[in-house]
Structure 1
Amino acid sequence: MPVNGNLNILIVDDEPLACRRLQVLCHRIESIAHVAVAASGTAALQHINDNLPDIVLLDIDMPDISGVEIADHCQQMESAPKVIFTTAHSRYAVQAFRLEAVDYLLKPVKEVLLIEALARAGEKLQRENRKAAPDHSLWVRDGETSLQIRSADIERIEAERDYMRLCLPGCSYLIHESMYSLIKKLPPDMFVRVHRSAMVRRDMIGEIRRKGRRQYAILIDGNQVPIGPRYADAVVTVAR
């Protein structure tokens, strides 16, 4: 999953067994940092308003406030959580997707389907976060042309002598900058230094692997970048 260890989940279900099953499944997923539970619609609305969870796993049939009403409330929020319906009934599916639900899972919820739905929700959150972030950009040369590229589109940066290579999906550009000067131009919370000659966008780090005495950041696109001992603690913290 693209979101690294920081998803906050709210499970809304008045059935204790169904709720417990979702808790167990969520605790197996590394990208989830916290799981809260609401056993009623009223408690769910209170938690959503007070804590702003990233994703709500939402039952529909509840005795006080229906899941559809809760989803409608979420949709109207400025920072709307992503909704995944988890229900025993298929008849609400059309209504659910009109409310822009990420998915509609029938009980008993299968683990593989839950993982896929959470991954899609995480991807949507990342896209929205990038759009909401200030539009930092850099100018690069491409032959005789100057191009403006968004910092959020850069996946990793690698030093090549007196130049820095900016790696984007499917292409890369060289700019005549030092690592130090480039760091000052980039958003401070978007990249992490992994080596004296490399930086990686934080949400690109999928996991950390050790090979012998060395550690590597494994990126979600399959590339791997060696981690310098000086930067290991910061990289491991980002990957959690």
Structure 2
Amino acid sequence: MNTATALSVLIVDDEAPARARLRDLLADATAEEANAVVAEAANGLLALAVLAEREIDLVLVDIRMPAMDGIELARHISRMARPPAVVFVTAYDSYALQAFDLNAIDYLLKPVRLARLVAALRKARRLSTPVPDLVLASLQPGERTHLSCHERGRLLLVPVVDIRYLQAGLKYVTAHTALRSYVLDESLVRLEEEFAVRFIRLHRSVLAAREAIVAFEKGGETEGETQWRAVLRDIPEALPVSRRQWPLVKAAAINARV
């Protein structure tokens, strides 16, 4: 008889039949590896809402989902103070699965088999550290929909579409929206690489959302050259543009209006 403490499990999949199948399989697996499904979610955003309310031991997560996919969800989970184990449930092809194997990421291939699920549950009990964000980032096909930060013990999500500009400080990056600012544990260089289509560099410590730039104003002269500032929608202060970046920023703004 299995007397181990039951693993609390969160199932995340946008398809109700897939969640039901996993729930049934987990019930069948209980005799060999104690577990209890405590919640379900149809996408990553809903899953994070569950995780904000209760501690979970294991998240079984589909990869391709609307609103927030499984890879991005895992990236946010990895930043939690006490992250649960994550096992991906996927119908990915063999080429994609090679990347999972290479990085020792546990996954269940659809249709999930009972024996493989039991093995994943046992492995989840032994997992002590989350998959590094750099590894997960290499597996994500596109850019994230949200950035995350810790504030007063909570994990807050910042929709990327709401960010007007990103500003690097000594140790952190601050994301500025129309309503408030968020301190992120991110690298400005990595953010620039990931969101190259969405943001453009104004100077060495600021990336501005291209669609948020509404005008330019003169900010004086230095060594006989006009210094320009970018005016961003919903941001009261204009942001300086370096002389090196000015031609690129101006051209990007003109192209955006064409």
- Normalising by the smaller structure, the TM-score range is 0.3 to 0.5
Q: Which has the higher Rg, Structure 1 or Structure 2?
A: 2
Bigger relative contact order, structure 1 or 2, given CA contacts below 8 A and separation 6+? 1
Instruction: Calculate the TM-score normalised by the size of structure 2.
Output: 0.44
TM-score (normalizing by structure 1): 0.47
